[in-house]
Amino acid sequence: MNLRLGTRGSALATAQAGQFADAVVAAGAQQGVEVSVELVTVTTKGDVDKGSLVGLSQTGVFVTALREALLADECDFVVHSLKDMPTAPFDGLETVAIPEREDPRDVLCTEGETLEELPHGARVGTGSPRRAAQLLALRPDLEVVPIRGNVDTRLGKVGEELDGVVLAAAGLNRLGRGAEATESLSVDRMVPAPGQGALAVEIRSDAAPALRDLLGSLDHADTRAAVTAERSALATLEAGCAAPVAAYGTVARGRLTLHTRVIGADGRLALNERNIGVPSEAASLGRSSGYSLLGRGAERLMRST
């Protein structure tokens, strides 16, 4: 079986695609099938547009070109960072696998200081309104600076233009650079983005059964349940990446726990919702969380961004 995997061309995207390709080859070997995977690089709008993504309709900015390449039969499957994916279904495609999640936490990268140790008025960079709002909730004195760019670009600003940057632990780990994080921020202090740390593997709806079975064998049920709840809450709130909405689900002993948070842009006000259910009702749990937050004024907080 000779397969083509569509991916963005960034170092992080190709690293995570390459790691998943290795997992596909290994899964094939376990099933007695010889598999090869070729990476097909696709340029997306998010790779070309160097301005701020906040306020663009950022939803789908990193995934649309990959999906179009898949529908055009330029590749057999694609791998996305799940947090970049729109919550609405996409005609002709389906998510066949969500592999086991990487570390979902955010991390602070500085020249050695923890968040508490940074000096008054320190400049901390992030391109995420969710991270910015939660940073200000923890340290109202910080100057949060909007930044874009790959991991190298962002880390290169530390000690030059900035006192620190906040990145996803999963990205650093996939690049083999996890040791460059100064401090891991707990999921209670800095609730992750819905789907953070998880990948999504898409195929065409008419994909061959052999391909569907091979990729589907790499699905991780607990991760799928957790991120389904997170993304269901996000969809109910009708919030995109420009809104400071966070959600994190976990599965333990047959129970799914979901923590959803909506934060005002300045970090001074936040609404939290915690729900517990069963993994098979993940989407319903997420919707309940979202509706509860809307009933408590979440829309007003999101409009304050």
List, by residue number, the catalytic residues: 84
Give the number of other CB atoms < 10 A from CB of residue 276: 9
Q: Which residues contact 69 (CB under 8 A, 6 or more apart)?
A: 6, 40, 42, 75, 78
Task: Please give the Cα distance from 261 to 73 (Å, whole number).
Answer: 39
Task: Please give the Cα distance from 269 to 172 (Å, whole number).
Answer: 30
Task: Please give the Cα distance from 124 to 147 (Å, whole number).
Answer: 9
Tokens matching residue 203: 């195929």
Helix (H) or strand (E) run with residue 287 in it: helix 282-295
CB-based contact 46:53 (threshold 8 Å)? yes
Vertex 240: Cα angle to 144 and 249 (nearest 5): 90
- Write the DSSP string, 27-44: HHHHTT---EEEEEE---
Tokens matching residue 11: 């170092």
Length of the chain in residues, anyone?
305
CB-based contact 217:27 (threshold 8 Å)? yes
What phi-psi label fits residue 189: left (phi over 0), alpha (psi between -120 and 50 degrees) or beta? alpha
Q: Which residues contact 183 (CB under 8 A, 6 or more apart)?
A: 107, 108, 110, 114, 115
